Every structure is written in C-alpha cells, then in structure tokens.
C-alpha cells in the first residue's frame, strides 16, 4: 500500500534541513526504516545528521558510512546508518544483516536505498532528495507499505500544506 501521492517540499537552506530533521525525529516510530534516495551531494547524510542531532547525537559524530557501510549512533533512539553506494548487489547488502537492525528499537537510515530496494522491509518511509541549487533541496516523501508511515506523511503534509513559502516558515518554527 502506498500513499496516494508523495509529499514534495522545498527546503531553503541548511538551517531548514536541521529543522526538518527535528520534525522527522519527532514523528518516527520505534524500528523505523527510512530509505534515502538521491545523487551524490544531494543531502542524504546531511538529513541523517539533522535527525541524529534532534535525537541528541553530538554534532560532528555522524559521517557518511560509505567506507564503513554501517554506522551506529546513540541518541535518545539508536540510529543505524547504512550506505549501499559501494555494494555490488542486494546480496552484499543482506550480508550486512540489515534485518537485525530493522527489527531493533531504533531508526535505520539506508542511503542509496534504490540500489537495494527489494531488501528493504515492505513498510518504510522513502525520501528522495534533489538538489535545486547550492543550498536548496527538494524532498519527496512517500510512505510505502503501511499505515504507520502514511501517518507521518500526512502530519508533514498538514504542516506544509500551504506550499514552499509556508513550508519554509513552518520548518523554521
């Protein structure tokens, strides 16, 4: 089951990304899986940093997991940060044991999730990130496979219902 349409919002700058990360951290349920999709430099790791910061992880701790493949961060909720960029296929991803992380009472963020899509739980939150300029990003947020993520999208949709200008001011609150 998929939400009727993804929520698309524009994030104007880094402080707005931090605020959006705080919003997301307030809404994510235990054992949440967030699929992050976007090209190099789109802001996938930056979004994880924003969520981690809102969860109490110290600034500077969250880094791209490209060479390590999985990082774990301890905040008010454990965060498991995967990177599928250098993996050859979904079998290599499965060899990392992601299902063990996905079932734990933490949040799993999978960068380059489109490369391992069938290895993800059927129920997850997908966020595609597109760079529109040096600091501006477009986030397309979609619930996949279940009601608990649809609720997150609907809360965010209500928050950003009046368009990008309103979303920018809402995200700064």
Say if 38 falls within a structural domain: yes
pLDDT at 170: 40
pLDDT at 123: 95
pLDDT at 66: 63
Decide: 157 and 27 in contact? Cβ < 8 Å.
Answer: no
Its domain, for residue 128, covers: 7-171
Say if 95 falls within a structural domain: yes
26-36 tens-digit pLDDT: 999 999 999 99
Whole-model pTM? 0.87
Q: What single DSSP character describes residue 40?
A: T
128-149 tens-digit pLDDT: 999 999 889 999 999 998 788 9
Mean pLDDT of the 88-111 span:
91
Task: Give me the number of domains the chain comprises.
Answer: 1
Say if 22 falls within a structural domain: yes
- Phi first, then psi, for residue 84 (nearest 5°) are -100, 5
Burial class (CB in 10 A: 0-12, 13-18, 19+), 30: exposed
CATH number at residue 151: 3.40.50.300
Say if 1 falls within a structural domain: no
Say if 61 falls within a structural domain: yes
Say if 27 falls within a structural domain: yes
| pLDDT(72) > 50 | yes
């Amino acid at each position: 089951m998929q939400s009727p349409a993804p929520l698309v919002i524009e994030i104007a700058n880094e402080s707005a990304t931090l605020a959006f990360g705080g919003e997301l951290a307030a809404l994510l349920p235990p054992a949440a899986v967030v699929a992050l999709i976007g090209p190099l430099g789109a802001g996938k790791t930056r979004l994880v940093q924003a969520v981690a910061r809102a969860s109490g992880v110290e600034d500077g701790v969250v880094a791209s997991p490209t060479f390590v493949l999985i990082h774990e961060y301890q905040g008010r909720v454990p965060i498991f940060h995967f990177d599928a960029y250098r993996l050859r296929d979904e079998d290599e991803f499965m060899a990392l044991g992601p299902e063990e992380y996905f079932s734990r009472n933490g949040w799993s963020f999978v960068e380059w999730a489109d490369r391992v899509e069938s290895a993800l739980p059927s129920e997850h939150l997908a966020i595609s990130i597109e760079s529109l300029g040096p600091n501006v990003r477009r986030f397309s947020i979609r619930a996949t496979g279940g009601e608990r993520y649809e609720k997150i999208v609907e809360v965010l949709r209500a928050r950003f219902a009046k368009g990008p200008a309103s979303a920018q001011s809402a995200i700064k609150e």
